[in-house]
Amino acid sequence: MQKKRYFTFNEHLRQRFGEKIFKISLDAGFTCPNRDGTLGRQGCIYCSERGSGDFAGRQELSIHHQFCEVKERMKKKWPKAKYLAYFQAFTNTYAPVERLREVYEASLLEEGVVGLSISTRPDCLPEEVLDYLEELNRRTYLWVELGLQSIHDRSLERIARGHDYAQFLRGLDQLQARGIRVCAHIILGLPGESREEMIETALAAAHLPLQGLKIHLLHVLKGTPLASFYRNHPFELMTKEDYVSLVVDMLEILPPEMIIHRLTGDGPPDDLIGPLWSRKKWEVLNAIDAELIRRDTWQGKRFQKQKVIPRDYLAAEERRDTV
């Protein structure tokens, strides 16, 4: 298989473990401060009913039974692989440590599991949780996936994210101080964001102490606040061509050692309002590969090591210094 022109998560895992590793997506039944009334009730405006865990195991099952069910589906494609237990749905550090320990440790007992990936919010990292994550990091392979979405506070307000960029920076600092790998999530195509603003988010990510990055396309899904907003205030969704071009622009400015966990995603087909072209995920990934070849470019080609401070990033740094 021809090597990609960007540093894929798959390549990193093969380098580390010497074999195929894939994620088993689990739903531990957590909620989110943006759902339980602490910050809001509806969640981020794009978030589905299952808290972005649409392809995770069934919440009503135990961790063990979820794991076995998802593994059997995935084994058809990779029969000899090993696994990362991926806590994906909602906010997976938003619970007492005793509950976190119960579900994380249960997943680590499953045969073939080599580590954990935990998706959470930067404002849900209390000291006792950080201490437990540090303990886990000492004895297993661990990633914390931290939602950023955008560095622009006005965009975070528009999508009802419930935290600002400064809080993301604090959460990142807390995790990095404990030596924990962090993968940030960003979303392209947020309503009201320009191409330049999206590039600024990538520039900031390029110069933060991140080990990984997930790039998502904004999906409009049925039943979400975004679907209602889109119906009442239509905005232009990204075209496939614009998305591919923008992703390649971003790859060029990211450091070559940053691990790219994802370059696009796919929403549940029955719930997807748009962009409809995103249903064909492999066509999008192939188009990104083709554009990299067409330009004769690659991840890191235009990366500049000197610190770049885009708009809003400096403001967030200044706010953090006053806390």
d(CA 131, CA 141): 16
**Placement of tokens 């007992």 in the chain:** 109
Q: What is the pLDDT of residue 131?
A: 98
Domain range list for the chain: 9-295
Q: What is the pLDDT of residue 55?
A: 56
Q: What is the pLDDT of residue 53?
A: 44
For residue 147, the SS3 value is strand
Q: Cα–chain-centroid distance for residue 238?
A: 19
Fold that domain 9-295 belongs to in CATH = TIM Barrel (3.20.20)
Q: How many helices (H) and strands (E) does the chain have?
A: 11, 9
Name the nearest CA neighbour of 159 among 103, 216, 213.
216
Q: What is the pLDDT of residue 296?
A: 98
Name the nearest CA neighbour of 212 among 282, 162, 145.
145
Q: What is the pLDDT of residue 243?
A: 98
Q: What is the pLDDT of residue 160?
A: 92
Q: What is the pLDDT of residue 266?
A: 78
Q: What is the pLDDT of residues 67-99, one digit of tens each?
A: 999 888 887 888 889 999 999 889 999 999 999
Verdict on whether the full-model pTM lies above 0.75? yes
Q: What is the pLDDT of residue 57?
A: 58
Low-confidence ranges of the chain (pLDDT < 70): 1-2, 50-57, 306-323
Q: What is the pLDDT of residue 307?
A: 55
Q: What is the pLDDT of residue 40?
A: 87
